[in-house]
Amino acid sequence: MRALVKAKAEPGLWLEDVPVPTPQEGEVLIQVLKTGLCGTDLHIVAWDDWAQRNVKAPLVVGHEFVGRIVRTTHGVEDLREGDIVSGEGHIVCGHCRNCMAGRRHLCANTEGIGVARNGAFAEYLTLPATNVWKHKPDIDLEVASIFDPFGNAVHTALAFPVIGEDVLITGAGPIGVMAAAVVKHAGARHVVITDVNEYRLDLARRVGVTAAVNVQQETIQDVQKHLGMKEGFDVGLEMSGHPTALPTMVDNMSHGGRIAMLGLPAQPISIDWSRVVLHMLTLKGIYGREMYETWYAMSVLVEQGIDITPVITHRFEANDYEEALATVREGQCGKVIMDWEA
C-alpha cells in the first residue's frame, strides 16, 4: 500500500510502498478515504526538537482521518465491515489511575497514532476497536476526516458554559475558527476572534463571529467599546500559543472570567498573576478530546446542523502531499484534506 513515511531521522517525508498492516485481536483494519493535515505533521516533516524527542523513524505519520472498516477481529463488537469511521488518536493504557476512573483523556501513558505508532497517512490503518468512532452513513466525509481537530475545538469551546456569554478567542487557525462556530451555536452573545492573518480572519467571518480582529490594526479594548461591553469577556479560549495572546486575554477578562487554553506556547510566558488572583480568574489547560463525551458532542452538533465546512479550504490527492504540506506551511489556508482513494 502507499504510505507517507518518516523513513529516516532527518527532515523530509517519503511516499513509499509498505505492507498492509495486520490487525491484532481487538483491532480493526480501516481503508483510509480522506485525511487532514495538522501542525504536528509539519513538526515531524521538519524534524525539529519536538519531533526528535517524540518520534522514532521509520513511522507512518498522520492522525486525522475518515475511513471504511474492511476487517474486524475476535473481540470486536458493534463494528462491522463497511462502517464509516474516524478514530481517537490517543491510545491509552487502560490501567493507570485516570483510566481506571474513566478519565481516559488524562491517561499518563498515552500513545499517539502517527507519533508513537503507525498512523493514518496510508491506504490502510489498524486501530483498537475502543478507539474507533462510528459515523452515520450520510456524514460528509470531509467533515468526518477532521473530527480530531474539531474535537479539540469542541473540548475547548465547551470547557465552560457559554450561553449568553461574551467570548474572546485568540488565534484564528482552523481549530480557533471551529471553536468560534461552536460557541455561536451554543448560544454565546458576542464572539470576538483575533489574529494577524487576514485570510484566516475572513474564514472566521464566514462562520458568523461578531468581530474578527487584526490585533496589528485594532485593540481588543477598542472592540469592547464598539460592542458596548463594560466589564470584559466572560470566557476566553486561547488557541494560538503566541506569547502575547494569554497576557492580553487576561487583561481583557471580566471579574470571575474563565479561560480555556489549547494553544501550546513554544516558550515560557509571563502573565499578571495578581490580576488572576484579584479578579478571581480560572485558567484550565485543554489537551485532545474527552473520551468519548467530546466525540458524542461533535456528532450531535453535526446532526443539529453546525457548519464547519468553511474551514476546509484546500484538497489534494495523496500523491501531491508535498504541495499539500507546502500549503499548510504557508498559512494561507484553513484545513487541508488529502484524498487517498484517487
287 is in an annotated binding site: yes
Q: In what order do the strands lie in the sheet with 191-195?
A: 211-214, 191-195, 167-170, 233-238, 253-261, 282-285
For 236-273, the pLDDT digits (tens) are 999 999 999 999 999 999 999 999 999 999 889 999 99
226 part of the active site: no
- Could you tell me the residue ranges of all domains in the chain? 2-146+308-339, 153-285
Q: What are phi and psi of 314, to 5 degrees?
A: -135, 145
Residues 121 and 3: their CA atoms lie apart, in Å, by: 6
Q: What are phi and psi of 284, to 5 degrees?
A: -130, 125
Closest to 65 (Cα-Cα) out of 342, 341, 338: 338
Residue 183's pLDDT is 98
Written out in words, the top-level CATH class of the domain with range 2-146+308-339 is: alpha beta
Residues 185 and 172: their CA atoms lie apart, in Å, by: 17
Cβ atoms of residues 308 and 150 within 8 Å: yes
CB atoms within 10 A of CB 68: 16
Residue 214's pLDDT is 98
Q: Band the pLDDT of 299: cuts 50, 70, 90.
A: very high
314 is in an annotated binding site: no
- Residue 68, all three cell numbers: 471504511
For 32-84, the pLDDT digits (tens) are 999 999 999 999 999 999 999 999 999 999 999 999 999 999 999 999 999 99
Mean pLDDT, the chain, integer? 96
Cβ atoms of residues 287 and 105 within 8 Å: yes
292 prior amide bond cis, ω within 30: yes
Catalytic residue among 35, 40, 210, 248: 40
For 278, the 3-state DSSP assignment is helix
- Residue 234, all three cell numbers: 466572560
For 155-180, the pLDDT digits (tens) are 999 999 999 999 999 999 999 999 99
Q: In what helix (H) or strand (E) does residue 128 lie, and over which residues does it extend?
A: strand 124-128
DSSP string, 42-89: HHHHHT-HHHHHH--SSEE---EEEEEEEEE-TT--S--TT-EEEE-S
315 is in an annotated binding site: no
Task: Mark 4-36 as b/e (b = at least 16 C-beta within 10 Å).
Answer: bbbbeeeeebebeebeebebeeebbbbbbbbbb
337 is in an annotated binding site: no
Pairing of strands 335-339, 59-60: unpaired
What interhelical angle do 321-330 and 39-46 show, nearest 10?
110
pLDDT tops 90 at residue 342: no
Residues 275 and 272: their CA atoms lie apart, in Å, by: 5
195 is in an annotated binding site: yes
Cβ atoms of residues 30 and 124 within 8 Å: yes
DSSP state of 239: -
**285: β partners:** 261
Residue 322's pLDDT is 97
263 is in an annotated binding site: yes
- Residue 145, all three cell numbers: 476526516
Catalytic residue among 22, 35, 43, 170: 43
Residue 29's pLDDT is 98
pLDDT tops 90 at residue 319: yes
278 is in an annotated binding site: no
15 is in an annotated binding site: no
40 part of the active site: yes
- Residue 164, all three cell numbers: 449568553
- Residue 251, all three cell numbers: 487583561
| Architecture label for domain 153-285 | 3-Layer(aba) Sandwich (3.40)
- End-to-end, the C-alpha distance of the chain in Å comes to 13
163 is in an annotated binding site: no
123 is in an annotated binding site: no
Cβ atoms of residues 122 and 114 within 8 Å: no
333 is in an annotated binding site: no
Pairing of strands 253-261, 282-285: parallel
Residue 266's pLDDT is 83
